[in-house]
Structure 1
Amino acid sequence: FSPFFKNRFGLSNKFESEFPSSLTGKVAPEEFKASINRVNSCLKKNLPVNVRWLLCGCLCCCCTLGCSMWPVICLSKRTRRSIEKLLEWENNRLYHKLCLHWRLSKRKCETNNMMEYVILIEFLPKTPIFRPD
């Protein structure tokens, strides 16, 4: 079972910070909220730039035959990479020690054909301590 938290880049600038019941006893609610807040602050920092380039790209799209949309695509990739790096840091700092793994994943929305990014939290199997070499 993997709880996930939704976000649509371009439509929303934050992930939900509600503590899932499946993580009770695995991680402190304060740590979870701090991690989600770090991800949300990364999104908040990058979103205004993406929106400006998106508006500019849409206005100039006819004149540039669609080439004006490339900065938006590149900025979205950069935002995605920065969130992936942040999640990797969070995993190494805390969550791998708790046998959890956070990752960013792309999924199809249930209600329409749009794609959305979600944070998946996977439970890792515990490694046996007394395993012989």
Structure 2
Amino acid sequence: MEYGFGLSNKFESEFPSSLTGKVAPEEFKASINRVNSCLKKNLPVNVRWLLCGCLCCCCTLGCSMWPVICLSKRTRRSIEKLLEWENNRLYHKLCLHWRLSKRKCETNNMMEYVILIEFLPKTPIFRPD
């Protein structure tokens, strides 16, 4: 199952029907809200550096875009760490695994990040050694 964000820089917090009976809607919404707050915290800084980088791009031969690239990587790593924490805290116990993945947008050639929610196979409790 995929949960994406594009230009809005926000994941939708609507509870997907495929998770009914697997996780409480409140837990799902709390997890998505934590990811969205991480994005919201980092977005203003990224936008300022992007505008500055675009204005200075001709003078610096593109080097002014490096801070934007570095900040985007830092934001992505922050979300990946948050998802890892969420997995260890709750979702692995429920046989679910959340991860961030990049994919091509359906409407244009741009790339977007999505949260993939994968169902893990249940490990048998009683298996022979």
TM-score, normalised by the number of residues in structure 1? 0.93
The change in CA–CA distance for 1:10 and 1:69 in structure 2 (over 3 A counts) is farther
Deviation by residue 1:45-78 (Cα, 9 ceiling, x = unmatched):
0000000000000000000000000000000000
- Kindly provide the CA deviation profile for residues 4-34 of structure 1, in whole angstroms up to 9, marking residues without a partner as x: x878878222100000000000000000000
Judge conservation of contact 1:7–1:13 (CA < 8 Å) in 2. no
Specify whether residues 7 and 22 from structure 1 end up closer, same or farther in structure 2 by C-alpha distance, changes over 3 A only: closer
Aligned to 2:10: 14
Post-superposition Cα deviations, 1:89-132, rounded to whole Å, max 9, x if no partner, equal 00000000000000000000111100000000000000000011
Alignment coverage as a number of residue pairs:
129
**Structure 1 outlier segments of 4+, above 4 Å:** 5-10
* Structure 1: tracts of 5 or more residues without a match: none
Question: What CA distance in whole angstroms lies between the structure 2 residues aligned with 1:128 and 1:45?
Answer: 41
Gaps of 5+ in 2: none
